[in-house]
Structure 1
Amino acid sequence: MPFDFRRALMRVVAPVERLLRRRRRPWKLARASFDHAVWLARRDADDTPLSTPPISLIVPVYDTPTRYLDELVASVRGQRPGSWRLILSDDGSKSEATRAWLDAHAADADLTIVRNPVNGGIVAATNAGIAVATTPWIGFLDHDDALAPYALDRVVRALDAHPECRFLYTDEVVADDRLRPLDLFLKPAFDPVLLAGVNYVNHLSLYRRDRLLEIGALRPGFDGSQDYDLLLRYTAGLGPGECLHLPYPAYLWRRDGASFSARHLDRATAAARRALAEAHRRPHREVEVEGAVNPDLHRVRFDLDRDEWPLVSVVIPNRDAFELISQVLEGLIEKTDYPSLEIVVSDNGTTDPRVLALYESRAAGPVPFRAEIHPEPFNFSRSTNRGIALSKGSLILLLNNDIEVLEPNWLKEMVSCFDWPDTAIVGAKLLYPDRRIQHAGVIAGFGGLAGHWYIGQHENFPGPMGRLWVRQSMSVVTGACMLVSRAAFDRVGLLDEKDFAIAYNDVDLCLRAVAAGMRVVWTPFATLIHHESASRGSDETPANIERFRREQANLRRHHATDRYEDRALNPWYSKGTSTPAPIGVDHLPEAR
């Protein structure tokens, strides 16, 4: 009887899927997902020995329990033959047990042990290990952690497939003292915007030795965040394709609270913010770094001490809806702190005399305002494009009439996000009136189309690895509050009036910008209320249902969203619900 691969695979996948449906005991799901990943890696492994090791793994050691050293070394020795060189750099250990272990293994042919005579700290010990490394790639392991099975086989094959790569990082497993999985850190593709808010990269990271030496390796003075500082300096200036994410849980991070950064969080946070301020300094302009939504994470303040602000044209489609248009105009004119603003209302047929009088009064006010009425059936894209044609600003804010302003600095925050290179579009955090999340970014591919993630979660829900507490790059943000550069419109075109008259026009625009190599940024530091679709008629009429289905088909046709792999989403996450969770895939994802 031939081997039934599908049946064998489902023996592994099915427990993961059952746990996913139950949504209980996250550590069980983490263990099942990790076991599944290792099973796939074993099935696909290449055990061919390498003639020359491409990777040196450097481990700073200080008074390390011998059990931890045994487990770490065993995890490395179990990797692909010939793929590694292990360098243990002892930082003047005082523990008799640690010293005896190092003495006992001094003659091991597959280990290099560096004995530093005094305790100089983790930076000095790590740099001493780098100094004796000769391989083209260098990775770092903490002395109480371990590698997952087949980690280096996956890494070596990814590096071979991508000779342009200069930096590679993997997913990781949070483990207990016995290295049993408790949680998974499933990471997005490389994102310098996200990296400015949280060190989501962490373990396992691989650096080119030549570049590492060029930048001076690790620097003293950043205790607790020395790896974050290194990462920021090393990746600065690297281009697309040079920083790769390998979606494989290659690293076992034993989290016991004993690390320097855990015991001295304030010092580590201060060091991280000094590194961030230096990394994001602008010519003739310093930047400040403060706490994010969670005060232990980071917000680089590009909006402080800024002398000039570009003209922002706010384009609002509207028809009647007196309460909504009154509220949004009041929020823009009286509650928003932005010095260079014009407002264009693109109206498709208002007859309400109260709205007409409101237009007239706002046109006589201090903020440049015009309302152009063009009676026609509602076509969001056409109305928006008409407003854009009437606008003058270098930045254009597409704003629904059902948005409510909460605090004055929101627009300065959105504009300041254009300090990130190649930014075309910036989106805000939107809440329902009951303060639950309505928009924290959109994932292309959700449901085979595109959808909001973590919709309906509480206002300060962290998301994976605290990502909803900081800025990050997304593939898509909602058009309900979307700031777009005129240069982006010039490059990729306006909203598609034919194929996306009502729905998915924002998704289509964002995906066109991403395909052109431009950046889409989402920020939680601009938060507004969205009274979603309050001014629209019912979407449940037969005509509207048919139109919506056509636009869904158009989205799949234009952007293949039924198989789209969004760089903001880890390939191990589900796409069927707004709250993604690990799933059992049938093959290992490739580096990206």
Structure 2
Amino acid sequence: MPMLQPLAHLKAVEGHDGLWASEGADPQFLVVRNGHAFACTGGWYRLRLRLVAREGAILAPCLYPDYGGGMTELERIPLGSPDADGWIDVLVRFKYAVRALRLDPTAVEAHFVATGFSLRRRHRPAAMVGMLRDIARSPRGGRRMAVRLAMATVRDLARGRVGAAGERLLRGYSALQVDGRDDYTAWCGRFAPPLSKSEAAQRCARLSARPVIAVLMPVYNPPECWLRRAIESVRTQSYPHWQLCIADDASPAPHVARVLAEVAASDPRIRVVRRAENGHISEASNSALALVDGEFVALLDHDDELHPDALLHVAEAIARHPSAGVLYSDEDKIDEQGRRYEPYFKPRFDPDLLLGQNCVSHLGVYRTELMRAVGGFRKGYEGSQDWDLALRCIERCGAANVVHLPHVLYHWRSIEGSTALAVSEKSYVVDAGRRAVADHLARTGISAEVQVLAGGHLAVRRPLPSPAPRVSLVIPTRDRVDLLRQCVDSVLRRSTYPDFEILVVDNLSVEPETLAYFESLASEPRVKVLRYPHPFNYSAINNFAVRHATGEVLCLLNNDIEVITPGWLEEMVAQALRPGIGAVGAMLYYPDDSIQHAGVLLGFSGVAGHLYAGWPRGTGGHMGRARLVQRLSAVTAACLVVRRVLWDEVGGLDEQLAVAFNDIDFCPRLDVSGHANLWTPHAELYHHESASRGKEDTPEKQARFKAEVDFMLQRWGARLADDRAYNVNLCLTSTPFALASPPRTAP
């Protein structure tokens, strides 16, 4: 039987048999058998273990298998939380033969007992049945989830897809073992702890300038405990050059005046004004702003908290970007027990994303003179007054002077009545946000309609010019007439765009049904069939077709695409015609209504990967971003719209990339030329991915693919490691938007 042997950051507690004390947040056991490191073949195993905390907690226990390349975060296997009696009883799968195995029992300091460890082999059928049983019994899964997965498993098995059946089950099962709050708490302890006093002092001393940062806090009747926590989070900042400017908006609760008088007397950096009458948050914030004489202003709600090093990070960012007008950080939520969860790791500044959600707040920091120049906060926008402020300030200072800090510096209190719990808690927030965005569009001369989406997010729907420009849709194909007919028919019958042509590019089709279909297209005035009688090269085929196109706008379209939304082309063309916009991509779904493409992440698994691939249709994605128009580094050419003049400017697709990555290469070339790529969820299509070309399943195809990977790494290596639409705290190796362990270096 395997046993647990202390490996690191553990010591036995004297006088308490079987009790272990963790030394730090990373205690480790080595799994041993007969005095040697445990080894086993790959496959399925049932793990049982009892972990009972005497002090502290059992948080995010996990296994680290060594498959021959060491123990890495990439191979980490979460084990879930113990039940009420301390038992963990889970199925795990080792992908390969295990050379050594490590157990990390908790991710916080704790005194605990570890007993009953066992690891027993299970054959695949037994493991699949066991996973379904565990899912049905799990409060986070349940019978409905188990039945759905069982039906999908039966379908996979009926088609001979045994491996796919197991993988699908494992994804669902593994998701139940991951407690996002526990994982995030453990991650914060390991990779984002507060600085020590000495390190903070050294970093302060290295600053060439030390601007005074005024923390603006409008106050109205918060519970005393949260008010004190908010104030204390400022008083304990590691950066000493701050002011705390508080405006009490005529709070009726007596404890507010008492607490504010107490803290104002305790520190000359704290300034308090009491308003004679309640004016709501915008007027109260302006009253606090009148107290400021610091160079920058940071916004803090009366029941939230700042990270202990928040203002130090801000001061360091100002030193790196002395022209900064607006700065903003990542954020998370904090519950009534002080437990942090649901981090929002944001991209670098994206003006389109800001029109869909207030991604600047929290922590939002503004140059004081800029905030005063735009008139401070506007009455009538309560609930989204900070969104309105951000839009007006950025209009004046310019997007180039907006700086993102990739650190969680703000903790948003989630209590009853707070928008941290749900936007629906304060419905007026949505309307105020809609009006703030509509005002911004009017001020900047943009004619568009602002619509409210799920979750209180917004969509800016832009009109086409009149007349609408002609669009040339380029569809390369080789046989598979069933797919091509579906694609062409869906475009012709479902699209409402007023002026388009379809260029079907035949690349050596031979099947009689396909050739007959080409003949039938001669009667359709909007369709032309072009012959490309050369070996397959996706880039060359599209470049050839574009030379025959008559449209001002181009749309690259795979032959396995099927239109869903009639206005898909209007949406994509309206976005593509905007100054400064390059390629525009769409929301693509697999036939089972899971997401195939919602934009491309550079650097994922080496070169690039699709965001949200496999997530269900309708998902909000990472903090709602799967619902929102936004600028991304790349989009897929399976459905891509771009102006013809930009295509010509960058030279079309690079014909050195015959099959893979030609679109991923095309998009950064547009970006380098000053045209940002954009993705919209409001153009929806199905994608029967690569159904006509097949898989990379021959030595020749695999060699070609490797050469194209090498090409991309050589041309775009630095850019692949720094996707501006993706945060350095998020993973590039396992699943998009998972936590990076450790975080990558910020640019």
- TM-score normalised by length of structure 1: 0.92
Residue 64 of structure 1 aligns to a residue whose secondary structure is: coil
Residue 264 of structure 2 aligns to a residue whose secondary structure is: coil
Compute the displacement of 1:485 (Å): 1.6
1:86: which partner in 2?
244
User: Higher mean Cα deviation, 484-493 or 551-560?
Assistant: 484-493
Give CA deviations for 1:173-212 in whole Å, capped at 9, x if unaligned: 2101233212211111111111111222221011111111
User: Higher mean Cα deviation, 343-352 or 197-206?
Assistant: 343-352
Query: Measured at CA, do residues 211 and 281 of structure 1 come closer, stay the same or move farther in structure 2, by a change above 3 Å?
Result: same
1:198: which partner in 2?
357
The structure 1 residue matched to 2:485, chosen from 326, 332, 343, is: 326
Partners of 2:362 and 2:427 in 1: how far apart?
22
Letter in 1 for 2:189: D
Q: Does 1:276 align with 2:437?
A: yes
Letter in 2 for 1:521: L
Letter in 1 for 2:257: R
1:110: which partner in 2?
269
Instruction: Report the identity percentage.
Output: 36
Compute the displacement of 1:270 (Å): 1.4
Give yes or no for contact 1:164–1:241 (8 Å, CA) kept in 2: no
2:593: which partner in 1?
435
Compute the displacement of 1:149 (Å): 1.7
Compute the displacement of 1:342 (Å): 1.3
Give CA deviations for 1:324-383 in whole Å, capped at 9, x if unaligned: 11111111212101011111122222233443343344343242x322112111111110
Compute the displacement of 1:283 (Å): 7.9
Letter in 2 for 1:540: D
User: Higher mean Cα deviation, 103-112 or 85-94?
Assistant: 103-112
Partners of 1:458 and 1:263 in 2: how far apart?
23
Q: Does 1:489 align with 2:650?
A: no
Q: Does 1:395 align with 2:549?
A: no
Paired residues for 1:112-511 under 5 Å: 112-236=271-395, 238-259=397-418, 262=423, 265-281=426-442, 286-292=447-453, 294=454, 296-303=456-463, 307-367=466-526, 369-418=527-576, 420-498=578-656, 500-511=657-668
Partners of 2:455 and 2:192 in 1: how far apart?
36
Partners of 2:368 and 2:317 in 1: how far apart?
17
Query: Measured at CA, do residues 290 and 106 of structure 1 come closer, stay the same or move farther in structure 2, by a change above 3 Å?
Result: same
Compute the displacement of 1:538 (Å): 4.0
Give yes or no for contact 1:168–1:243 (8 Å, CA) kept in 2: yes
1:26: which partner in 2?
180
Compute the displacement of 1:235 (Å): 1.5
Query: Measured at CA, do residues 307 and 559 of structure 1 come closer, stay the same or move farther in structure 2, by a change above 3 Å?
Result: same
Q: Does 1:76 align with 2:231?
A: no
Query: Measured at CA, do residues 558 and 286 of structure 1 come closer, stay the same or move farther in structure 2, by a change above 3 Å?
Result: closer
Letter in 2 for 1:267: Y
The structure 1 residue matched to 2:220, chosen from 55, 58, 62, is: 62
Partners of 1:17 and 1:234 in 2: how far apart?
46
Compute the displacement of 1:83 (Å): 2.3
Q: Does 1:567 align with 2:724?
A: yes
Give yes or no for contact 2:576–2:641 (8 Å, CA) kept in 1: no
Compute the displacement of 1:467 (Å): 0.5
- Is there any run of 5+ residues in structure 2 with no aligned partner, and where? 1-7, 9-22, 29-58, 64-75, 79-176
User: Higher mean Cα deviation, 429-438 or 177-186?
Assistant: 177-186
Query: Measured at CA, do residues 10 and 478 of structure 1 come closer, stay the same or move farther in structure 2, by a change above 3 Å?
Result: farther
Letter in 2 for 1:265: K
User: Higher mean Cα deviation, 231-240 or 534-543?
Assistant: 231-240
Compute the displacement of 1:128 (Å): 0.9
- TM-score normalised by length of structure 2: 0.73
Query: Measured at CA, do residues 424 and 255 of structure 1 come closer, stay the same or move farther in structure 2, by a change above 3 Å?
Result: same
Give CA deviations for 1:148-193 in whole Å, capped at 9, x if unaligned: 1211111101110111221110011210123321221111111111
Partners of 2:365 and 2:444 in 1: how far apart?
31
Query: Measured at CA, do residues 227 and 340 of structure 1 come closer, stay the same or move farther in structure 2, by a change above 3 Å?
Result: same
Give yes or no for contact 2:732–2:740 (8 Å, CA) kept in 1: no
Give CA deviations for 1:191-246 in whole Å, capped at 9, x if unaligned: 11111112222210111111111211111111211111111222225445311110
* RMSD of equivalent CA atoms: 2.6
Residue 39 of structure 1 aligns to a residue whose secondary structure is: coil
The structure 2 residue matched to 1:515, chosen from 650, 665, 672, is: 672
Larger Rg: 2
Query: Measured at CA, do residues 360 and 280 of structure 1 come closer, stay the same or move farther in structure 2, by a change above 3 Å?
Result: farther
Residue 182 of structure 1 aligns to a residue whose secondary structure is: strand
1:583: which partner in 2?
740
Letter in 2 for 1:54: V
* Aligned positions, number: 580
Higher RCO structure (Cα 8 Å, ≥6 apart) = 1
Q: Does 1:529 align with 2:686?
A: yes
Higher strand share: 2
Partners of 2:60 and 2:647 in 1: how far apart?
44
Give CA deviations for 1:556-578 in whole Å, capped at 9, x if unaligned: 11110696111111111111124
Partners of 1:584 and 1:421 in 2: how far apart?
39
Compute the displacement of 1:131 (Å): 1.6
